[in-house]
Amino acid sequence: MKLKKIALGLVAVLAVAGAAGWFSLDKETRALLATLPTHRDLLFWSQSQRDAAFRALDRLPVLAQSHVVPAGGTPMPLPPGPPLKLAIDVDAYMAVQRSAALLALHDGKLRLERYGLDFDAGGRWTNFSVAKSVTSTLVGAALRDGLIRSMDDKVSAYLPEMKGAAYDDVSIRQLLTMTSGVRWNEDYADPNSDVARFNNHKPEAGVDSLVSYMRRLPREAPAGTRWHYSTGETNLVGVLLVRALNKPLATYLSEKIWLPAGMEQQATWLLSRSGNEISGCCIQAAPRDYARLGLFVMGGARVDGRSIVPDGWLAEATTERTGIGRPGRGYGYQWWTYSDGSYAARGIFGQGIFIDPVRQLVIVSNANWAAGASDRATGDAREAFYRAVQQAIDDEATASYPK
């Protein structure tokens, strides 16, 4: 059934229920109903459809099913700090980015918190590929828990359906660094790319839909010799992880991060056609909880003084494991890395968590870029904003240093 028909059905139900039924819905769901997309391919939704949907992807089952990531009852405090003095017009920057949320924390204190697109601190915004960095951290936790034996284990050891495919001899490490050498097209503007098509793939009976799609892909380069960005590979990590955990990723995320890190709100994680969390995408969470996630990782992912990942693993994950063809930039285990020791989780349309351990800095971005899923100029503007915040922190340190 087309989503448009379902939307009309929902509107009819609300008409019968009367005005009270409409106003009983939260503003995000009302906005989504008013501009509901007529197809599931979000890469090709209009800007207004994305504005409504990114804050409510988990609200309407006609769009996608999701699992809840429960939070605890005692949120980690995020005390306010003095406003940052930035050599940049924040209003103008947010307008260019089409920002829904922009937060900066220094030494655990909120130094900047701004909202746009009629969004606020109480809402949840989808993070797209920021979820990749979360999935990576859960792999580290599974290693610590002994549920995954080694980063050098082959994919087929956990997914026997991959035997004989190009991924048969690819390791978990190579999946996390996106160096499998398997062909994949991540062109967000191409409706025939793999990233646009794989969610609509009809699998063979009894086979996970993603595994069914990925095991058909051919090899282009020897494993471990080439970096090539592939959302499909992170999703494959997720299927592998579910097999190793024997529980939903949302449950494990709650146990390992959401509860112990003191998240304020529950999150949700969208599901694939096979009923597994889409591990390369689509966690919905509150902006302040994204900030808490950044603080948790920057602090070594520790619970009661003990890291949830093996000793040294997080340092490997957040430093360059492979080059990406840009000076000063690299890729770790699903984290984008910088030569100054900073690292970031990034998602299409302007989502991000930037972490600078040297300066004890976390910057959170939620947005809906006007120019599309992955616009180079808008992305460069965000990088410039990161540098402006770093410079402001450095200027403060210089000013306070005794002469």
Q: Let me know if residue 391 belongs to a domain.
A: yes
Which pLDDT score is estimated for 4?
A: 36
pLDDT in tens, 38-86: 566 788 889 999 999 999 989 865 566 899 999 998 999 999 999 999 9
Give yes or no: residues 12 and 146 share one domain: no
Number of domains the chain contains: 2
Taking alpha carbons only, the member of 135, 177, 175, 131 closest to residue 153 is: 175
Q: Let me know if residue 124 belongs to a domain.
A: yes
Which pLDDT score is estimated for 18?
A: 39
Distance between CA atoms of residues 383 and 250, nearest Å:
31
Give yes or no: residues 246 and 378 share one domain: yes
Which pLDDT score is estimated for 27?
A: 62
Q: Let me know if residue 83 belongs to a domain.
A: no
Distance between CA atoms of residues 324 and 276, nearest Å:
30
Which pLDDT score is estimated for 246?
A: 97
Which pLDDT score is estimated for 61?
A: 56
Q: Let me know if residue 239 belongs to a domain.
A: yes
Give yes or no: residues 54 and 95 share one domain: no
Give yes or no: residues 288 and 389 share one domain: yes
Give yes or no: residues 216 and 178 share one domain: yes
Which pLDDT score is estimated for 195?
A: 84
The first and second tokens of residue 344, run together, are 């970031």
Distance between CA atoms of residues 101 and 106, nearest Å:
17
Low-confidence stretches of the chain (pLDDT < 50) are: 1-23
Which pLDDT score is estimated for 37?
A: 62
Distance between CA atoms of residues 387 and 140, nearest Å:
29
Give yes or no: residues 33 and 178 share one domain: no
Give yes or no: residues 199 and 274 share one domain: yes
Which pLDDT score is estimated for 12?
A: 35
Give yes or no: residues 13 and 150 share one domain: no
Give yes or no: residues 253 and 374 share one domain: yes
Q: For residues 336 and 344, is the Cβ–Cβ distance under 8 A?
A: yes
- Residue 205: give the domain boundaries: 90-400
- Give the domain CATH number at 358: 3.40.710.10
Q: For residues 234 and 280, is the Cβ–Cβ distance under 8 A?
A: yes
Residue 293 CB partners (closer than 8 Å, separation 6+): 134, 257, 261, 263, 285, 353
Which pLDDT score is estimated for 25?
A: 55
Q: Let me know if residue 84 belongs to a domain.
A: no
| pTM, 2 dp | 0.90
The DSSP 8-state label assigned to residue 171 in this structure reads: B
Give yes or no: residues 45 and 157 share one domain: no
The first and second tokens of residue 227, run together, are 């970096």
3-class DSSP state for residue 135? helix
